[in-house]
Structure 1
Amino acid sequence: MRIVIAGGHGKIALRLARKLADRGDRPVALIRNPDHTQDVVDAGAEPVLIDLEKATVTELTEKIMNADAVVFAAGAGPGSGADRKSTVDHKASVLTADAASLAGVRRLVQISAINVDRPVPEGTDEVWAAYVEAKRLADADLRERSLELDWTILRPGRLTDEPGTGRVALGEEVERDTVTRDDVASVIVALLDEPGTVGRVLNLVNGDDPVIEAVRSAASSS
């Protein structure tokens, strides 16, 4: 499969590209910084330059054409301000969904964050609150697109760079906890293979279930 990854130089995205390439898929990494080209090539992905904060929907549609699926893995990242949470985590997500729809690419997996539908506590840091709101709005937009897109929203807990365990807890209701980026990437690969997860919003943390079993169980519980 040809899988387009928006935010292709991110930590999850690079892990995802390696896993897809290792099994014979053709990952395409959308990146805005040409200095990141070698990193994505080393991960087994085809680099494609585009700035999701500046691109038109037509420009992005051209990059997505002929893909089998799209993974939205973009994020403003640590150190960015509230404004970029809006332009990347929210608006770039909407742009990606628009482009996938125009390109006729139905399958879209979006990386969000655990429990973003819940109100943030009073006194929460302004930038964190903006991040949660951006993810919530992006997810809300995608949930309205069931006629045009076969979407799955994946909401990981706090991300770590520990080695993947291959075991997770995945479902609509899981306790907030940590999850390795490597395990998030493994779950995305499994989600792409499991049509039963279309139209689902799934929280993810490390747990006891092997990834494939966790995804199959989530699919069968729909």
Structure 2
Amino acid sequence: MDVFIVGITGGIGGLLAEELRSRGDTVHGLARRDDQQADLAARGVNARVGDLADMTVEQLAAAFADVDAIVFSAGSNGGSREVTTAVDGDGVVKAIKAARLADVERFVLVSVLPESWRERDLGDEVEYYFAVKKGADVALSRSDLNWLILRPSLLLDDPGTGTVSLGPAELHGQIAREDVAVTLAELLHESRIGRQILELNTGSTPIEEAVRANVRS
């Protein structure tokens, strides 16, 4: 499988690239700087230099050419409104249009659980981030692509456990980025899962088994 990762220099994107390559897949990505491109090339990733916020739909479509699937894992993490809009909002819409233009049907979006941090007094910037993320989910779910939206709970840098809880609705807790990346790789290789929203949390089910349990009959 040839997979293009938007957000490959991020925590989940980088781990996903490693996981996919370990399975024999070809990985492509978008890097903002030449040094990032060189680092990715040394790891066997075909990276293009470009800034998602500045690229046109046509330029992004050219980058997507001939891949089997696109994973959008880029995110502003609740930064400034301008960055959130450019990446989490407009960036997703642009990538959807580019996928259509490049004739790539499989599109996986890493989103966020709507319940995240509800126990906290969130500032305006973070509340805006959640609103934009939800808008991106809606935009993708209304597209004609073979889409999949994955909403992980609070992300940790701890080692993965290899077990998760995955389904249409999950409690909000926390999960290792490594487990998210492995789950994404399994989902990409399960062609029977599509046009679904899945939520992901820590759990006791082996990842491969958890993914298969979400195949619709």
Structure 2 counterpart SS, 1:88: helix
| Contact kept? 1:14, 1:40, Cα under 8 Å | no
| Aligned counterparts, 1:71-86, within 5 A | 71-77=71-77, 80-86=79-85
Residue 189 of structure 2 corresponds to residue 193 of structure 1? yes
| Contact kept? 2:77, 2:129, Cα under 8 Å | no
Instruction: Count the aligned residue pairs.
Output: 217
Find the counterpart in structure 1 of residue 127 from structure 2: 129
2: CA distance between counterparts of 1:140 and 1:160? 26
| Contact kept? 1:29, 1:45, Cα under 8 Å | yes
| Contact kept? 2:164, 2:204, Cα under 8 Å | yes
Deviation sequence 1:154-203 (CA, Å, 0-9, x none)? 00000000011110001111110101111111011111111232011011
| Contact kept? 1:17, 1:44, Cα under 8 Å | no
Deviation sequence 1:7-64 (CA, Å, 0-9, x none)? 1101111101111111111100111122312332344311111211011100100000
Find the counterpart in structure 2 of residue 35 from structure 1: 35
Identical-residue share of aligned pairs (%) = 34
Residue 217 of structure 2 corresponds to residue 218 of structure 1? no
| Aligned counterparts, 1:152-171, within 5 A | 152-171=148-167
Q: How has the CA–CA distance of structure 1 residues 39 and 165 changed in structure 2, closer, same or farther, with 3 Å as cutoff?
A: farther
Find the counterpart in structure 1 of residue 64 from structure 2: 64
Question: Structure 2: where are the runs of 5+ without partners?
Answer: none
Q: How has the CA–CA distance of structure 1 residues 157 and 122 changed in structure 2, closer, same or farther, with 3 Å as cutoff?
A: closer
Q: How has the CA–CA distance of structure 1 residues 163 and 43 changed in structure 2, closer, same or farther, with 3 Å as cutoff?
A: farther
| Aligned counterparts, 1:43-54, within 5 A | 43-54=43-54
Moved over 6 A (4+): none
Shift of 1:123: 5.0
Q: TM-score, normalised by structure 1?
A: 0.92
CA RMSD of aligned residues (A): 1.9
1: CA distance between counterparts of 2:157 and 2:67? 29
Q: How has the CA–CA distance of structure 1 residues 122 and 17 changed in structure 2, closer, same or farther, with 3 Å as cutoff?
A: closer
Letter of the structure 2 residue corresponding to residue 131 of structure 1 = Y
Deviation sequence 1:47-91 (CA, Å, 0-9, x none)? 11121101110010000010000000111246x312211110111
Q: TM-score, normalised by structure 2?
A: 0.94
Shift of 1:115: 2.3
